[in-house]
Structure 1
């Protein structure tokens, strides 16, 4: 049985460049990197060291060759923030492509893109 939710794999063209974006622009923390035979790199990141979940960036090309039957599209991920508007403004100042904010039912959301054109959503959640 599944006991908890742990990691989300995100397949990218350049795991190191993607990790630099997530750390430098989004504010994630790198908690691990593994170098496999043949120079294959995976990088694990988390928004906070107390978080139960993390993302793992892995080389898309390697997976395409090893397991061509797998779906390699970016998963639809909804991140949570205590202040979505402030986060959006911060990302804009850092040069990140962001979408407009939307407010529905008292919930504020927006999306942002990584340098490879993958989009992710952020929803405000009050503590």
Structure 2
């Protein structure tokens, strides 16, 4: 049976802008980048080379041209950190749009926005 979550597709307006955001601002690495036809490429980023799960950055307009019925709305994604305060401070220092740090009975978390103004949640997890 299935034992890992492999890849999560993020539909973006521009792959190069998304690559810049995820690698230079978020500190992710490019795990795979290769052509997949004319004017298209497969682009995966992840927190490290060793991390199995990655984001596939796929341009919205290309997907819509291939499949007009495709839902390219943004998925709800929760990223994890073991030190929420340091992560929050680092992201603010890199001029990433972050909302207020929330301290709730069920955990600490905050929302940030990517280059296309999509929302992500970062949550502190002990691992």
Q: Same fold (TM over 0.5)?
A: yes
C-alpha separation in 2, matches of 1:15 and 1:65 = 16
Match of 1:110 in 2: 110
1:39-118 pair list within 5 angstroms: 39-118=39-118
In 2, are the aligned partners of 1:113 and 1:120 still within 8 Å (CA)?
yes
Equivalent residues, number:
127
Shift of residue 3 of structure 1?
A: 4.1
In 2, are the aligned partners of 1:16 and 1:43 still within 8 Å (CA)?
no
TM-score, length basis structure 1: 0.93
Aligned residue for 2:115, secondary structure, equals coil
Unaligned segments of structure 1, at least 5 residues: none
Match of 2:11 in 1: 11
Aligned residue for 2:109, secondary structure, equals strand
In 2, are the aligned partners of 1:42 and 1:59 still within 8 Å (CA)?
no
C-alpha separation in 2, matches of 1:47 and 1:34 = 19
Match of 1:32 in 2: 32
C-alpha separation in 1, matches of 2:12 and 2:39 = 15
Unaligned segments of structure 2, at least 5 residues: none
TM-score, length basis structure 2: 0.93
Superposed CA RMSD: 1.3
C-alpha separation in 2, matches of 1:29 and 1:18 = 12
C-alpha separation in 1, matches of 2:3 and 2:86 = 34
C-alpha separation in 1, matches of 2:89 and 2:57 = 25
